Chain A
């Protein structure tokens, strides 16, 4: 059964190559997108650290996005 699954009656090369290409491409795009997202989160945090205490407080009060990014980064660290 396993050898049948691999060879697929002579079509194994085409079938497995198709599934592999799809899987590798999708995995590559997923990790690249995730890396970019993390990079922007880090850049946001870096910029946030440069603010004065008043500006930080104001940003946190008015922006839930800032709160979320800070919460996620503090969870991860």
Chain B
């Protein structure tokens, strides 16, 4: 069982997954863009500005999801010292940072025509900015520190402190009065988004998820090669 999770087997699986994602990605991207930009209807209040949702929402969700995974694996790595988790986190963090930045920028571009301002220091926007800073500190811990043990310690602390911000982001629109609208899609309870908008959103979420997976796999593969290069004579 453990042999299956050896870096060699993981490397072979990564190769196949990268090929698979590359083969379907463009097709799904074209379908997603067609729905998002042409086929989905404009909103009765926001008009065509609502189309920004199809890039803003998946970016924000993936930004949050990456940090949740990083926190979970950081804690496991700190307790059980599983080196693979360290490499997974190192590969995931830049993707999370990218999506968080994109969520903030596209949110700003959505805010201007909808609220009449690019930015407001309201709870949702400020907590997303805090998430971006936590990602930055997390990545800096890998870049600035040399000893692996120290990196694991510092990055785990950043991840755990940063995880406190995750429920704040999620519930900020309920706990405080914010410019940002409340969640339209709920895991429990009925969503307030129409199927004609929900469908393109799900396709775009799939596109963003595939892209995230592709970048993650390429970064993880780079990490495996880096280790193999270091230990080439020991193989």
Task: Report A's interface with B, CB cutoff 8 A.
Answer: 5, 8-12, 14-15, 17-19, 21-22, 25-26, 29-30, 33-34, 36-37, 40-41, 43-44, 47-48, 51, 55, 58-59, 62-66, 68-69
Contacts and interface: CB of A to CB of B under 8 A. Distances in A.
A7 to B, nearest CB: 9
- Interface of A (DSSP majority class): helix
28 contacts: A5-B37, A8-B49, A10-B47, A11-B47, A12-B48, A14-B113, A15-B51, A18-B106, A19-B36, A21-B102, A22-B55, A25-B102, A26-B211, A29-B98, A29-B215, A30-B214, A33-B219, A33-B222, A37-B218, A51-B233, A59-B235, A63-B235, A64-B11, A65-B8, A65-B224, A65-B225, A65-B228, A68-B12
Q: Kindly name the residue among B98, B106, B225 whose own CB sees the greatest number of chain A CB atoms within 10 A.
A: B225
B105 interface: yes
B45 interface: no
Closest 4 CB pairs of A and B: A8-B48, A63-B235, A11-B49, A11-B48
B113 A66 contact: no
Contacts of A18: 52, 55-56, 105-106, 109-110
B192 to A, nearest CB: 21
A17 B11 contact: no
Interface string B192-235: 00000000000000000001001100110110111011001101
Given A22-B55, A30-B214, A64-B11, A15 B232 contact: no
B215 A33 contact: yes
Given A33-B215, A33-B222, A44-B228, 15 more contacts: A9-B42, A11-B51, A15-B37, A18-B52, A19-B55, A21-B106, A22-B102, A25-B101, A26-B211, A36-B222, A47-B232, A63-B8, A65-B8, A65-B11, A66-B228
Given A34-B218, A65-B7, A65-B224, A14 B110 contact: yes
